[in-house]
């Protein structure tokens, strides 16, 4: 088990008050991968925790090609110059990107913008020297680029695959818990992960009774019209109140904790469940669409209360599994094959964790941390 990051780099913008960090937690075959997030609340400690989660996530992805990393920028992603800040951050991190650190998009950062900037900088899709010499991987990169523009259920493929994987994990866990049909769901966050998870849960027969975004919480006992909310969702992952129905109740966005539900899916910021609110969680299952959604103190309370949890690195691995599977040629260039691959892996890992937890009377996160612990510590690509 690896208990500390390999490398952490700090960046200070010269034109704004933005700060940023890059953490390469571990390298596998001289390569590591993870997203970059932008939010005023981002900290160095958060980026390290996220990179640690990515290392676990790649193990859960059954990857023998990639370790975990994460990037973070403390800045307002809604600011008019946010993309310029992102570009300067990527310029600063370019030596590490060229050495095998593959960073993409995350909260507040569009993956398409990252790729566009890396193309402008002459870097292109991050890869090692060995990858550049491998014709199969080069074909996989072409397939990846083509699939970036493909859609599924009305979403761009990259925008839906993590949320759908989260929903499949939640569905699998709920069935293993012998949960009732038509169970109620509350989702915190309505960006790519939250919106697509809501869509998939709705398709699977669940009743989404509450969604919160950056502005508000909207609830409906009879279930929200997910398709209508997604249709009018803003580019910043916010619902448009002009399209709320008469039976919708609007409250402050922090009040999701007060909504009765069977399943809660955090799908935005970190640490939304903590020591001050974990005792008030109504759900009997939490499926983490967001990374590090629960603090250590909050997790201790959930464990004591016997609330079941599908950990982040099990539930929300969709995007990185898709990247690995296409780039390294595990699956064909086919949208349905990509979604099916993520569904099968999320369900398999969830079954494995919940089966052991039930047999041994243990907490699901403790089991998952044990069986998916990263063990490979390589070095960057030096050439």
Task: Please compute Rg for the chain using Cα positions.
Answer: 20
Q: Specify whether the CB–CB gap between 106 and 86 falls below 8 A.
A: no
Residue whose token pair is 């960057």: 380
State the greatest distance between any 2 C-alpha atoms of the chain, in Å, as a whole number. 62
Cβ count near 228 (within 10 Å): 14
Q: Which residue in 4, 19, 57, 70 is the catalytic one? A: 70
Residue given tokens 């997790």 in the structure block = 299
Give the bridge partners for 142, in sequence order: none
Residue 12, classed as helix, strand or coil, is strand
Residues 298/277, Cβ–Cβ less than 8 Å: yes
Q: Which residues pair with 35 in a beta bridge?
A: 104
Mark whether 303 is an active-site residue: no
| SS3 at position 305 | helix
Q: What are phi and psi of 297, to 5 degrees?
A: -65, -40
The single residue listed with the structure tokens 């866990």 is 173
Active site residues: 70
């Amino acid at each position: 088990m690896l208990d500390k990051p390999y490398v952490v780099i700090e960046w200070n913008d010269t034109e704004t008050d933005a700060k940023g960090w890059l953490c390469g937690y571990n390298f596998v075959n001289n390569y590591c991968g993870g997203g970059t997030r932008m939010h005023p609340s981002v900290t160095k400690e958060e980026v390290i925790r996220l990179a640690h989660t990515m290392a676990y996530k790649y193990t859960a992805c059954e990857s023998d090609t990639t370790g975990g990393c994460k990037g973070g920028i403390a800045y307002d992603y809604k600011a008019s110059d946010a993309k310029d800040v992102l570009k300067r951050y990527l310029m600063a991190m370019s030596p590490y990107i060229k050495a095998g650190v593959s960073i993409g998009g995350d909260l507040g950062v569009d993956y398409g913008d990252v790729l566009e900037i890396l193309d402008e900088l002459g870097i292109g899709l991050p890869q090692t020297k060995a990858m550049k010499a491998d014709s199969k991987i080069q074909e996989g990169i072409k397939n990846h680029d083509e699939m970036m523009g493909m859609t599924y259920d009305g979403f761009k493929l990259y925008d839906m695959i993590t949320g759908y994987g989260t929903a499949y994990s939640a569905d699998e866990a709920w069935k293993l818990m012998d949960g009732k049909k038509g169970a109620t769901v509350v989702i915190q966050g309505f960006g790519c992960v939250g919106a697509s998870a809501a869509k998939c849960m709705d398709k699977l027969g669940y009743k989404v009774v509450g969604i919160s975004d950056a502005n508000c919480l909207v609830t409906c006992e009879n279930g929200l019209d997910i398709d209508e909310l997604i249709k009018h969702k803003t580019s910043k992952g916010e619902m448009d109140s002009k399209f709320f129905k008469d039976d919708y109740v609007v409250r402050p966005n922090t009040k999701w904790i007060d909504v009765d539900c069977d399943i809660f899916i955090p799908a935005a910021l970190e640490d939304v469940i903590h020591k001050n609110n974990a005792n008030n969680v109504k759900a009997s299952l939490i499926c983490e669409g967001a990374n590090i959604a629960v603090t250590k103190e909050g997790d201790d309370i959930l464990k004591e209360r016997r609330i079941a949890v599908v950990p982040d690195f099990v539930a929300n691995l969709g995007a990185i599994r898709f990247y690995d599977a296409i780039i390294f040629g595990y699956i064909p260039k086919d949208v349905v094959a990509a979604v099916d691959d993520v569904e099968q892996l999320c369900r398999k890992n969830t079954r494995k964790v919940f089966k052991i937890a039930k047999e041994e009377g243990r907490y699901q996160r403790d089991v998952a941390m044990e069986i998916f612990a990263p063990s490979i510590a390589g070095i960057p690509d030096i050439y």
